[in-house]
Structure 1
Amino acid sequence: MNKKLSWAIIFTAAGWLLSSCKDDKANSQQAAPPPVPVNVYTVSKGKASYYDQYPATVTALNQVDLRPQVNGYLTGIFFKDGSRVKKGQKLYEIDRQQYVANYQQAQANLQVQQTNLIKAQKDADRYHELEKHDAIAKQTVDYADAALAAAEKQVVAAKANVESVQTGLRYTTIYAPFDGTIGISLAKMGTAVSAGQTLLNTISSDDPMAVDLAIDQKDLYRFAQLQKKNANANDSTFKLILPGQETYPHSGQIYLIDRAVDPQTGTIKARLLFPNKQSELKAGMTANVRILNNANTEKLLIPQKAVVEQMGEYFVYTTDGKTAHQKKVSLGARIGDRIVVNDGVTEGEQVITDGLQKLKEGAPVQLGQSKPASAPTAAK
Structure 2
Amino acid sequence: MAVSLFVAGCGSQASTADAMPPAEVSVAEVVSRDVQPWDEFTGRVSAVESVELRPRVSGYVERVAFDEGQEVAKGDLLFVIDQRRYRAELARAEADLARARSEAQLARTQDARAQSLVEAKAISREEFESRRASRSQAEAAVRAAEAAVANARLDLQFTEVRAPISGRAGRALVTAGNLAQADATVLTTLVSLDPVHVYFEADEQTWQRYNAQAGEKRAVEDNAVRVGLAGESGYPHAGKVDFVDNQVDAGTGTIRARAVVANPDRLLTPGLFARVQLQGRDSHRALLVDDKAVLTDQDRKYVYVLGEGNTAMRKDVRLGREIGDLREVADGLEPGDKVVVHGVQKIFFPGMPVAPTTVEMGAPPAPPQVASAESGAEPAGPAGGSQ
TM-score grouping bracket, smaller chain normalisation: 0.5 to 0.7
Question: Normalising to structure 1: TM-score of the pair?
Answer: 0.65
Match of 2:125 in 1: 138
> Match for 1:121: what amino acid?
R
| Rg larger for | 1
Match of 2:43 in 1: 56
Q: In the alignment, does 2:258 pair up with 1:267?
A: no
Match of 1:200 in 2: 187
Contact 1:84–1:181 (Cα < 8 Å) also in 2:
yes
What displacement does 1:333 show?
A: 2.2
Q: Which runs of 5+ in 2 are unaligned?
A: 1-30, 303-316, 335-348, 353-359, 363-387
Match of 1:257 in 2: 243
Kindly tell me: are residues 126 and 52 of structure 1, through their superposed partners in 2, closer, same or farther at Cα, counting changes over 3 Å?
same
Kindly tell me: are residues 69 and 368 of structure 1, through their superposed partners in 2, closer, same or farther at Cα, counting changes over 3 Å?
same
Q: Which runs of 5+ in 1 are unaligned?
A: 1-43, 230-236, 317-328, 349-365, 370-375
Match of 2:306 in 1: none
What displacement does 1:86 show?
A: 1.6
1:1-380 equivalences in 2 (<5 Å): 47-48=34-35, 51-215=38-202, 216-217=206-207, 218-219=209-210, 221=213, 238-247=225-234, 249=236, 251-254=237-240, 256-258=242-244, 260-262=246-248, 264=250, 265-277=253-265, 279-291=266-278, 295-298=282-285, 305=295, 308-309=298-299, 332-334=320-322, 340-341=329-330
Question: Normalising to structure 2: TM-score of the pair?
Answer: 0.64
- After superposition, the C-alpha distances for 1:128-171 in whole angstroms (9 at most, x for unaligned) are 11000000111111111111111111112111111222211111
Equivalenced residues, count: 296
What displacement does 1:191 show?
A: 0.9
Q: Which consecutive segments of 4 or more residues in structure 1 shift more than 6 A?
A: 222-226, 300-303, 345-348
What displacement does 1:212 show?
A: 2.1
> Match for 2:239: what amino acid?
Q
RMSD of aligned Cα (Å): 4.2
- After superposition, the C-alpha distances for 1:33-77 in whole angstroms (9 at most, x for unaligned) are xxxxxxxxxxx9975566432111111122211111110000011
**Which SS does the other structure have where 2:184 is aligned?**
coil
Kindly tell me: are residues 79 and 186 of structure 1, through their superposed partners in 2, closer, same or farther at Cα, counting changes over 3 Å?
same
What displacement does 1:210 show?
A: 2.4
- Structure 1 distance, partners of 2:283, 2:361, is 14
Contact 2:286–2:328 (Cα < 8 Å) also in 1:
no
